[in-house]
Amino acid sequence: MTVVARLLLGVGLLASGVASHAATGVAPLSRQCPASFELSDGACRLHTPYQAYRSLADAGVGGLKSGLPRFRDGFTPQQIDLGRYLFFDPVLSGNGRLACASCHRPDHGFADARARSVGVTGREVARNAPSLWNVGFLQRFFWDGRAHSLEEQVRGPLYGPLEMGTSPTRLAATLNAIPAYRMLFAAAFPSAHAPISSDQVYTALAAFESSLVSLNSRYDLYAHGISDALTAPELEGLNVFRSFVARCAECHTPPLFTNQQIAVIGMPDAHGRPFDPGAGATSGVSALRGGFRVPSLRNVALTAPYGHAGQFPTLRETVAFYTGGRGHAVPRGEKLQLHWHIWEPKLSGRELDRLVDFLKTLTDESFRPETPTAVPSGLPPAT
Residue 348: count other Cβ atoms within 10 Å of its Cβ: 11
Question: Which residues lie across from 118 on neighbouring strands?
Answer: 124
What DSSP state is assigned to residue 90?
G
pLDDT at 148 over 50: yes
Render pLDDT for 348-383 as a digit per residue (tens, 0 to 9). 999 999 999 999 999 999 999 999 999 999 999 998
Classify 365 as helix, strand or coil: coil
Render pLDDT for 75-102 as a digit per residue (tens, 0 to 9). 999 999 999 999 999 999 999 999 999 9
pLDDT at 56 over 80: no
Banded pLDDT at 12 (limits 50, 70, 90): very low
Query: pLDDT value at position 316?
Result: 97
pTM of the model: 0.91
Classify 333 as helix, strand or coil: coil
- Mean pLDDT of the region 319-329: 92
* Cβ atoms of residues 63 and 75 within 8 Å: no
Render pLDDT for 101-141 as a digit per residue (tens, 0 to 9). 999 999 999 999 999 999 999 999 999 999 999 999 999 99
- Mean pLDDT of the region 322-344: 90
- Chain centroid to Cα 123, Å, comes to 22
> Where are the strands (E) in 69-113, listed by range?
none
Render pLDDT for 16-29 as a digit per residue (tens, 0 to 9). 443 445 555 788 99
Question: Structural domains in the chain?
Answer: 26-210 (1.10.760.10), 218-362 (1.10.760.10)
Render pLDDT for 255-284 as a digit per residue (tens, 0 to 9). 999 999 999 999 999 888 999 999 999 999
pLDDT at 14 over 70: no
* Cβ atoms of residues 150 and 135 within 8 Å: yes
Task: Please give the span between the terminal C-alpha atoms of the chain, in angstroms, as a whole number.
Answer: 43
pLDDT at 303 over 70: yes
Query: pLDDT value at position 7?
Result: 29
Query: pLDDT value at position 6?
Result: 33
Q: In the chain, what's the furthest Cα-to-Cα distance?
A: 77
Residue 350: count other Cβ atoms within 10 Å of its Cβ: 11
267/331 Cα distance (integer angstroms): 8
Nearest to 322 by CA among 284, 294, 285: 294
Give the mean pLDDT of the chain: 91
11/308 Cα distance (integer angstroms): 51
143/279 Cα distance (integer angstroms): 8
